[in-house]
Amino acid sequence: MDFDVRPLGKNCAATGEPLAPGSQCWSVLVEQNGKLVRQDYSSEAWAGPPENVLGFWQCEVPKDNGGQQKKLDVDGLFDYFVQLNDSPNLAEQDYQYVLALLLLRKRRLILEETTDTDDIPTMTLIGSGGEGPFQVMERELSDDQIVELQQQLFGGSSESAA
């Protein structure tokens, strides 16, 4: 069963005051007119869950990023992925593998099949616009390597990759 619940609000449901970035707050789910409604409360205004609450939890208000949400340029990343195709450079193959996984998640690439090439799992991928096919071998990367690749690709924070 899917529920359509909005993300964290900007203002406290009790006071109407803005929720301070980086502060702790409380969120609740209540039913109003047959719909699930999320209400968010600052820690100062929190007096416990209201009556008829379906669920509640504590969370942190995200820090302000200048009002701009980071967006991925999926087509730009796809172009870079294509440029790396068939590269003999191992570092570039690492980039291509990470980009392939990201572009699969963003539905810019479609997994056609997985085969073994010299006992290494290899993905056959097609671009969502019909480009390809592309062969990408699985790479064994450590957590540190993945973090480093994400930082190089996305300029610091790995949050952009999600």
Tens digits of residue pLDDT in 119-133 = 889 999 999 999 989
My answer on whether omega of the bond before 7 falls inside 30° of 0, hence cis, is no
The answer to whether 134 and 125 have CB atoms below 8 angstroms apart is yes
- On whether both 143 and 98 belong to a single domain, the answer is yes
Among candidate residues 23, 38, 67, the one where a domain is terminated: 67
Amino acid identity, residue 38? R
Residues 63 and 80 occupy one common structural domain: no
Tokens encoding 75: 């087509």
- Neighbouring C-alpha atoms within 13 Å toward the C-beta of 100: 26
How many structural domains comprise the chain? 2
Residues in contact with 138: Cβ distance below 8 Å, sequence separation at least 6, in sequence order: 97, 120, 121, 122, 123
> Which of 36, 67, 98 finishes a domain?
67
Tokens of 58: 């504590």
pTM of the model as a whole: 0.53
Q: What is the pLDDT along the chain (162 residues), one digit of tens a residue?
A: 456 778 889 999 999 999 999 999 999 998 888 888 899 999 999 999 988 888 899 999 988 665 555 677 888 889 989 998 878 888 888 888 989 998 999 999 999 999 998 888 999 999 999 998 999 999 888 888 888 887 777 765 444 444
Q: Are residues 95 and 19 in the same domain?
A: no
User: Do 78 and 60 sit in the same domain of this protein?
Assistant: no
